[in-house]
C-alpha cells in the first residue's frame, strides 16, 4: 500500500510536470488576477515631458520592445517539452535493460536531471512572458492624439501615466479601523496626470484618479469552537475621479455659467461633484462609479468643460 | 557582469558538477550491468534433503552427489544416475576419511539397533557400533584429533558420545539438556578440538578425551559453526540464537569477539569469500524472517558489510565464484523456494524459483563443469549458473553526464539569447529648454500637491514618502537632462549617501532611511 501511494505521488508529479511543460509550449498560462478580481496588467510607469508625436512614437516603440522580448522567448517554448521527452527516452533505456535482465538507474538519473533542467528552462521562459498592457495605455495615447492639435506650437505634454497598480502600499491615502479592529485602506491612484499649454493660451491640467477601498485580512475567532480563522482581504469597491483645471487666457476667453455644466450634472460616465470658476480658473472635480472610464468620456468631459468659456470678440 | 555571461557560468558550474559525479560513478566501479542466470542440467525426485555435498565418495576421482534425508542416503553420479542408495531410519550423516585411504567416507548415525553408527566405504555398508549411550540422532562429525580421528555423536537430549573409527566407545558426556544444534571441529593453537552447541544455549569446546576446555551459556542456539576465519590457528565459533543474538567467540578461551542482535531468529550461518581477500573470511547470516547480513572478520572483530533480504526463512547459504573474478557470490535459498545470488556489495540477482522451500544448496564440480546443486522439498536439481555483463557499462555515467551537460549548456545559450525584459519605467523627455522647464514646473507643482495632501491627511506617511521619492527622482533626472543639454541649472537635489534616495538640498536627515547627512 505505501508503495502504491509513492507510485501515485510520483505519477502525479510527473503528470504535473508534463502539463506544465505542455502549457509552457502552448503558451497557455493562467491569467493573473488582482484582489479586485481583474486581470493584472504590465506595471508600466511613463514619465511624460515631450511633444505629443514623440510621446506616441515612444509609447509604440516601448510596446514593440516588450513584444520583441516575448517573441524571442516564444520560439524556444517547445524546447523544455522536447528535453522532457529526451529524459523519458533516457529512462526507457533503463527499462530496456531491465527487460534484458539488467538493472540500471544510470539513464533514469540522467533523465531525471533533464526533467529538472526542462523545468528550470520552462520557468525562465515563462518569466520572460510579459503581462498585457492595460487598456489605459492605449486610451492615454488616444487622449494625447486627440489633444495634440490643441497644444501650443512647440510645447510639450508633461505629467505621467502610472499603470503600476491601484492598490500599492505607496498609494494608501487613508487607513481606518472599524469597531472590530479591522483595517480598511483607502487608495488614491493618480494614474494619469497631464499638463499642457494649449494653442489658445489656456493651461490645461487633467488628473485621473482611481479611488479604491480594501479591507485587510484579519484573524477571526469563532465564538463556538474558539478556533481562529484567517479571513482574506476583501475588495470593497472602486470609483474614478477626474480633476480638470483650466487656467483661462483672459485675453481670449471669459468664463460664463452654463446650466448644463454644473454640480450634479452627468457628463458621459462622470457626474460633476465640484465646480469653481474663481480667480480666472476653472476647477472641476467629477466622479464616476464605474470601474473603468474610456478615453472618449474623458475627452468628452474636457470638451464640456470648455462650454464654460466664451471667446471674446476680437 | 553581463547578463549573457551569467547563464553560461551557472551552466558551466552545473555541467562540471554533473561530470564530476558521473566520473566518480564511472571510475569507482559502482555502476555495472550484470545478471546471473541458470540452466537446469538435470533434476531428480528427492524429498527434503537434510544433508548434501558434491564430493568424491566412490574413490574414482570423479565428484559425486551425496544426499541424505530422513529416510536414507543416496549417491548420484555426475549425470544424475543413482550409484548407491541406502535406507535408514532417521539418519544423521557426516563425511570423513575413516579408513585413511584419502577418500571421504560416509558415516551414518541412525536409530537402528538401539542407535548405531554405520560407515559406507566405497559402497560397502558396515555397522561399526550399536547400542550406543545416545538416543535420537541430531548431529555427528568426524573430528581428526591429534590422537586420531573420532566420530562424535550428539542426540536430541544433550547426550554426547565419541567412538573411534572402528566403533570403540571412547568417551561419553551429558552436555546441556536439549537437542544438539551444532558440532564442528575447532582449533586452539592449531590443535583440533570439537565445539558443540545445544538448543538450550550451552556452548562448549571439548578435547579428544571429552574434557571440556571452556563452556558458556547464552540464549537458545539455533546454529553454530566454527571456522578459523583469519587463519591464526585459533578458530572462531559463530552462534546464532533463537531471538536474534549473533556471537563470535574465540575458540581458545570463549571470549566474545563480536556480538550483535539481528532482530530475528538466526536460521543459517556460512562463510563466503565475498571480497576475494584470503587473509580474512566473510560470513553470511540468514534469518528466520528472510533477513541476510554479511560480515567481515578482521581477526579482532566483525563488521557488517551489507544487509539484504529474501521473502521467507533463509534455509541455505553457499558461496560460488560465478563471474570468476576471485570473489565468491552468496547463493541463498529460502523456505518459499526463492534462490538469489548476492554479490560482494549485496546487490541481489534472482535465479529461477522452486515450487517448494529450498533445503540445501551446494556447489561443486560434477563431470567437467562446476554446478550449483539445489535441493528443495521434492527434487534435487543440478544447475549451471552463468554470469553476463555489458562490457564498458561502467562508463555510461560519463555518456549520460555528457548528454545532460550538453543540454544544460544549450539551455544556457537559449536563455542568454533572450533579450532582457525592458524596464517598465520609461521616460519621454524633450531636451529643449522650454520642455525641461515645463517638466520642472510640473514636478514642483506635483511635489507641492503631495505636500498639500499630506497636510490635509489625504495620504499616509509611507505613501507620501514613496510618492515624494519618485517625484524628487524625476526632478533629479530633469536636472541631469539640463546639465547634459548644457543649460544652466540651479541644482536643488542630491542623493542620500546611504540609500540613494533623492533629497532636496539643505536636508540634514534622509527622510527615507533616517541617515544623518553632514554637508
pLDDT in tens, A269-309: 999 999 999 888 999 999 999 988 898 999 999 999 999 99
User: How many other C-beta atoms are found inside a 10 Å radius of the C-beta of residue B389?
Assistant: 14
At A103 the pLDDT is 86
User: H or E segment at A12?
Assistant: helix A2-25
At A32 the pLDDT is 65
At B322 the pLDDT is 83
- From the list B31, B36, B29, the residue with the least C-alpha distance to B329 is B36
User: How many other C-beta atoms are found inside a 10 Å radius of the C-beta of residue B334?
Assistant: 25
Q: Distance between CA atoms of B348 and B331, rounded to whole angstroms?
A: 10
Q: Distance between CA atoms of A91 and A17, rounded to whole angstroms?
A: 16
Order across the sheet with B124-129: list the strands. B92-96, B105-110, B116-121, B124-129
User: How many other C-beta atoms are found inside a 10 Å radius of the C-beta of residue B77?
Assistant: 17
CB-closest option in A66, A68, A169 to B463: A169
At B196 the pLDDT is 96
Q: Distance between CA atoms of B141 and B503, rounded to whole angstroms?
A: 102
At B59 the pLDDT is 86
| Phi, psi (degrees; rounded to nearest 5) at B343 | -85, 180
Return the SS3 of A121: helix
Burial group, residue B108, by CB count within 10 angstroms (0-12, 13-18, 19+): buried
CB-closest option in B411, B421, B459 to A128: B421
CB-closest option in A51, A110, A124 to B403: A110
B250 contact partners, CB below 8 Å, separation of at least 6: B234, B236, B237, B256, B257
Q: Distance between CA atoms of B119 and B100, rounded to whole angstroms?
A: 13
Return the SS3 of B381: strand
Please tell me the pTM assigned to this model. Answer: 0.65
Q: Are A97 and B426 in contact (CB < 8 Å)?
A: no
- Which of residues 14 through 33 in chain B touch A, CB cutoff 8 A? 18, 25, 31, 33
| Closest Cα in chain A to B468 | A170
Beta pairing, strands B116-121 & B124-129: antiparallel
B110 contact partners, CB below 8 Å, separation of at least 6: B88, B89, B90, B91, B92, B116, B117, B118, B137
Residue A165 to chain B, least CA–CA distance (Å): 12
B83 contact partners, CB below 8 Å, separation of at least 6: B58, B64, B75, B76, B77, B123
All residues of chain B having their beta carbon less than 8 Å from the beta carbon of residue A100 are 35
Return the SS3 of B282: strand
Across chain A, mean pLDDT equals 89
All residues of chain B having their beta carbon less than 8 Å from the beta carbon of residue A103 are 33, 35, 347
| Closest Cα in chain B to A170 | B463
All residues of chain B having their beta carbon less than 8 Å from the beta carbon of residue A66 are 421-422
Return the SS3 of B369: strand
On whether the CB atoms of residues A308 and A253 are closer than 8 A, the answer is no
User: How many other C-beta atoms are found inside a 10 Å radius of the C-beta of residue B402?
Assistant: 15
- From the list B322, B230, B232, the residue with the least C-alpha distance to B271 is B230
Residue B26 to chain A, least CA–CA distance (Å): 10
A235 has which bridge partners? A214
Q: Which single residue is written with the C-alpha cell 519605467? A: B425
Q: Are A86 and B407 in contact (CB < 8 Å)?
A: yes
The alpha carbon dihedral of B285, B291, B292, B296 has a sign of: negative
Q: Distance between CA atoms of B249 and B214, rounded to whole angstroms?
A: 11
On whether the CB atoms of residues A308 and A255 are closer than 8 A, the answer is yes
On whether the CB atoms of residues A175 and B460 are closer than 8 A, the answer is yes
Residue A30 to chain B, least CA–CA distance (Å): 20
Beta pairing, strands B159-164 & B148-155: antiparallel
On whether the CB atoms of residues B131 and B89 are closer than 8 A, the answer is no
At B305 the pLDDT is 94
Q: Distance between CA atoms of A272 and A244, rounded to whole angstroms?
A: 11
Q: Which single residue is written with the C-alpha cell 534484458? A: A100
Q: Distance between CA atoms of A182 and A215, rounded to whole angstroms?
A: 7
All residues of chain A having their beta carbon less than 8 Å from the beta carbon of residue B422 are 62, 65-66, 69
At B362 the pLDDT is 92
Q: Are B411 and A121 in contact (CB < 8 Å)?
A: yes
Q: Are A49 and B434 in contact (CB < 8 Å)?
A: no
CB-closest option in B34, B396, B422 to A66: B422
CB-closest option in B404, B421, B458 to A173: B458
Beta pairing, strands A270-276 & A228-231: unpaired
- Quickly state the pLDDT bin for A314 (edges 50, 70, 90): low
- From the list B160, B180, B184, the residue with the least C-alpha distance to B172 is B160
What is the DSSP secondary structure assignment for residue B367, as one 8-state letter? T
Q: Estimate the share of chain A in helix, then strand, then coil, as percent rounded to the nearest 5.
A: 40, 30, 30
| Closest Cα in chain B to A162 | B425
- From the list B141, B147, B132, B209, the residue with the least C-alpha distance to B181 is B141
Beta pairing, strands A183-197 & A172-177: antiparallel
- From the list B165, B27, B23, B157, the residue with the least C-alpha distance to B94 is B165
On whether the CB atoms of residues B49 and B375 are closer than 8 A, the answer is yes
CB-closest option in A49, A130, A171 to B428: A49
Q: Are B403 and A83 in contact (CB < 8 Å)?
A: no
Residue B37 to chain A, least CA–CA distance (Å): 9
Q: Distance between CA atoms of A54 and B121, rounded to whole angstroms?
A: 116
- Quickly state the pLDDT bin for A36 (edges 50, 70, 90): low
Q: How many CB pairs under 8 A join A and B?
A: 162
| Phi, psi (degrees; rounded to nearest 5) at B439 | -65, -40
The alpha carbon dihedral of B436, B440, B445, B449 has a sign of: positive
Cα-to-chain-centroid distance, residue A298: 19
On whether the CB atoms of residues B216 and B174 are closer than 8 A, the answer is no
- From the list B143, B135, B188, the residue with the least C-alpha distance to B162 is B143
Q: Distance between CA atoms of A104 and A106, rounded to whole angstroms?
A: 6
- Which of residues 403 through 442 in chain B touch A, CB cutoff 8 A? 403-404, 407-408, 411, 414-415, 417-422, 424-430, 432, 434-436, 438-439, 441-442
On whether the CB atoms of residues B152 and B132 are closer than 8 A, the answer is no
CB-closest option in A113, A125, A175 to B404: A113
All residues of chain B having their beta carbon less than 8 Å from the beta carbon of residue A128 are 418, 421
Q: Distance between CA atoms of B29 and A264, rounded to whole angstroms?
A: 88
As given in the structure block, the three cell numbers for residue A227 are 478556533
Q: Is the pLDDT of residue A33 over 70?
A: no
- From the list B208, B212, B140, the residue with the least C-alpha distance to B176 is B212
What is the DSSP secondary structure assignment for residue A150, as one 8-state letter? G
Q: Are B435 and A156 in contact (CB < 8 Å)?
A: yes
As given in the structure block, the three cell numbers for residue A176 are 481606518
What pLDDT tens digit does each residue of chain B (519 aa) get? 567 788 899 999 999 999 999 999 999 878 888 888 889 999 999 999 999 999 999 888 899 999 999 999 999 999 999 999 999 988 999 999 888 888 999 999 999 888 999 999 988 999 999 999 999 999 999 999 999 999 999 999 999 999 999 999 999 999 988 999 999 999 999 999 999 999 999 999 999 999 999 999 999 999 999 999 888 899 999 999 999 999 999 999 999 999 999 999 999 999 999 988 887 789 999 999 999 999 999 888 899 999 999 999 999 999 988 878 889 999 999 999 999 999 888 888 889 999 999 999 998 888 888 899 999 999 999 999 888 888 889 999 999 999 999 999 999 999 888 887 777 888 888 888 888 888 888 888 888 988 888 888 888 888 888 888 888 888 888 888 888 888 888 888 888 888 888 888 777 888 888 888 765
Question: How many Cα neighbours within 13 Å face the side chain of A51?
Answer: 12
At B1 the pLDDT is 57
Amino acid at each position: 500500500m505505501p508503495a502504491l501511494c509513492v507510485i501515485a505521488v510520483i505519477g502525479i508529479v510527473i503528470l504535473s510536470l508534463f502539463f506544465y511543460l505542455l502549457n509552457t509550449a502552448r503558451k497557455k498560462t493562467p491569467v493573473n488576477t488582482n484582489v479586485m478580481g481583474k486581470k493584472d496588467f504590465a506595471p508600466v510607469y511613463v514619465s511624460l515631458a515631450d511633444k505629443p508625436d514623440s510621446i506616441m512614437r515612444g509609447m509604440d516603440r516601448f510596446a514593440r520592445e516588450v513584444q520583441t522580448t516575448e517573441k524571442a522567448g516564444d520560439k524556444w517554448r517547445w524546447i523544455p517539452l522536447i528535453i522532457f521527452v529526451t529524459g523519458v527516452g533516457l529512462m526507457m533505456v533503463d527499462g530496456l535493460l531491465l527487460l534484458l535482465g539488467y538493472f540500471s538507474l544510470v539513464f533514469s538519473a540522467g533523465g531525471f536531471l533533464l526533467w529538472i533542467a526542462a523545468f528550470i528552462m520552462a520557468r525562465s521562459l515563462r518569466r520572460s512572458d510579459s503581462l498585457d498592457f492595460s487598456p489605459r495605455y492605449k486610451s492615454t495615447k488616444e487622449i494625447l492624439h486627440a489633444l495634440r492639435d490643441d497644444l501650443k506650437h512647440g510645447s510639450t505634454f508633461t505629467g505621467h501615466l502610472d499603470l503600476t497598480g491601484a492598490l500599492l502600499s505607496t498609494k494608501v491615502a487613508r487607513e481606518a479601523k472599524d469597531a472590530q479592529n479591522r483595517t480598511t485602506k483607502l487608495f488614491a491612484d493618480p494614474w494619469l496626470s497631464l499638463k499642457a499649454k494649449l494653442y489658445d493660451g489656456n493651461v490645461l491640467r487633467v488628473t485621473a484618479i482611481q479611488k479604491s477601498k480594501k479591507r485587510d485580512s484579519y484573524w477571526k475567532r469563532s465564538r463556538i469552537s474558539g478556533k481562529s480563522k484567517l479571513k482574506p482581504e476583501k475588495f470593497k469597491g472602486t470609483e474614478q475621479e477626474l480633476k480638470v483645471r483650466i487656467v483661462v487666457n483672459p485675453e481670449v476667453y471669459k468664463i460664463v455659467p452654463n446650466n448644463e455644466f454644473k454640480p450634479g450634472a452627468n457628463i458621459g460616465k462622470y457626474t460633476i461633484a465640484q465646480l469653481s470658476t474663481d480667480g480666472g480658473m476653472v476647477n472641476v472635480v467629477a466622479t464616476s462609479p464605474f470601474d473603468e472610464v474610456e478615453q472618449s468620456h474623458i475627452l468628452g468631459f474636457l470638451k464640456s468643460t470648455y462650454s464654460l468659456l466664451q471667446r471674446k470678440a476680437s | 557582469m553581463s547578463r549573457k555571461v551569467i547563464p553560461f557560468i551557472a551552466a558551466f558550474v552545473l555541467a562540471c558538477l554533473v561530470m564530476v559525479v558521473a566520473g566518480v560513478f564511472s571510475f569507482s566501479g559502482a555502476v555495472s550491468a550484470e545478471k546471473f542466470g541458470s540452466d537446469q542440467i538435470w533434476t531428480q525426485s528427492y524429498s527434503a534433503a537434510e544433508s548434501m555435498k558434491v564430493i568424491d565418495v566412490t574413490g574414482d576421482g570423479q565428484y559425486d552427489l551425496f544426499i541424505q534425508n530422513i529416510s536414507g542416503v543416496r549417491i548420484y553420479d555426475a549425470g544424475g544416475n543413482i550409484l548407491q542408495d541406502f535406507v535408514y531410519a532417521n539418519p544423521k550423516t557426516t563425511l570423513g576419511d575413516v579408513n585413511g585411504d584419502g577418500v571421504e567416507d560416509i558415516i551414518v548415525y541412525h536409530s537402528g539397533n538401539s542407535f548405531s553408527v554405520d560407515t559406507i566405504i566405497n559402497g560397502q555398508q558396515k555397522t561399526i557400533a550399536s547400542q550406543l549411550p545416545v538416543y535420537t540422532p541430531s548431529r555427528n562429525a568426524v573430528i581428526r584429533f591429534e590422537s586420531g580421528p573420532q566420530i562424535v555423536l550428539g542426540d536430541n537430549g544433550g547426550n554426547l558420545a565419541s567412538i573411534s573409527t572402528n566403533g570403540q566407545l571412547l568417551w561419553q558426556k551429558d552436555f546441556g539438556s536439549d537437542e544438539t544444534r551444532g558440532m564442528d571441529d575447532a582449533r586452539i593453537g592449531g590443535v583440533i578440538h570439537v565445539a558443540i552447541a545445544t538448543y538450550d544455549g550451552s556452548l562448549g569446546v571439548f578435547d579428544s578425551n571429552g574434557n571440556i576446555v571452556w563452556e558458556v551459556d547464552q540464549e537458545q542456539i539455533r546454529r553454530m559453526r566454527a571456522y578459523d576465519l583469519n587463519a591464526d590457528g585459533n578458530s572462531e565459533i559463530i552462534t546464532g540464537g533463537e531471538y536474534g543474538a549473533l556471537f563470535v567467540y574465540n575458540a581458545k578461551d570463549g571470549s566474545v569477539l563480536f556480538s550483535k542482535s539481528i532482530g530475528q531468529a538466526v536460521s543459517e550461518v556460512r562463510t563466503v569469500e565475498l571480497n576475494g581477500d584470503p587473509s580474512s573470511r566473510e560470513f553470511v547470516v540468514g534469518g528466520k524472517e528472510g533477513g541476510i547480513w554479511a560480515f567481515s572478520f578482521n581477526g579482532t572483530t566483525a563488521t557488517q558489510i551489507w544487509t539484504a533480504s529474501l521473502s521467507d526463512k533463509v534455509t541455505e547459504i553457499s558461496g560460488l565464484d560465478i563471474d570468476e573474478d576471485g570473489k565468491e557470490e552468496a547463493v541463498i535459498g529460502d523456505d518459499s523456494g526463492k534462490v538469489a545470488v548476492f554479490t560482494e556489495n549485496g546487490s541481489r540477482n534472482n535465479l529461477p524459483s522452486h515450487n517448494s522451500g529450498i533445503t540445501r544448496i551446494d556447489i561443486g564440480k560434477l563431470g567437467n563443469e562446476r554446478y550449483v546443486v539445489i535441493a528443495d522439498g521434492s527434487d534435487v536439481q543440478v544447475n549451471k549458473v552463468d554470469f553476463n555483463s555489458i562490457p564498458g557499462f561502467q562508463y555510461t555515467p560519463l555518456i549520460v553526464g555528457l548528454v545532460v551537460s550538453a543540454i544544460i549548456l544549450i539551455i544556457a545559450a537559449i536563455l542568454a539569447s533572450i533579450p532582457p525584459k525592458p524596464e517598465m519605467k520609461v521616460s519621454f523627455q524633450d531636451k529643449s529648454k522650454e520642455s525641461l522647464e515645463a517638466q520642472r514646473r510640473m514636478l514642483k507643482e506635483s511635489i507641492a500637491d503631495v505636500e498639500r495632501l499630506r497636510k490635509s491627511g489625504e495620504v499616509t506617511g509611507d505613501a507620501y514618502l514613496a510618492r515624494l521619492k519618485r517625484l524628487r527622482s524625476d526632478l533629479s533626472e530633469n536636472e541631469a537632462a539640463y546639465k547634459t543639454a548644457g543649460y544652466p541649472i540651479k541644482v536643488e537635489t542630491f542623493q542620500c549617501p546611504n540609500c540613494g534616495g533623492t533629497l532636496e538640498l539643505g536636508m540634514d536627515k534622509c527622510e527615507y532611511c533616517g541617515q544623518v547627512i553632514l554637508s
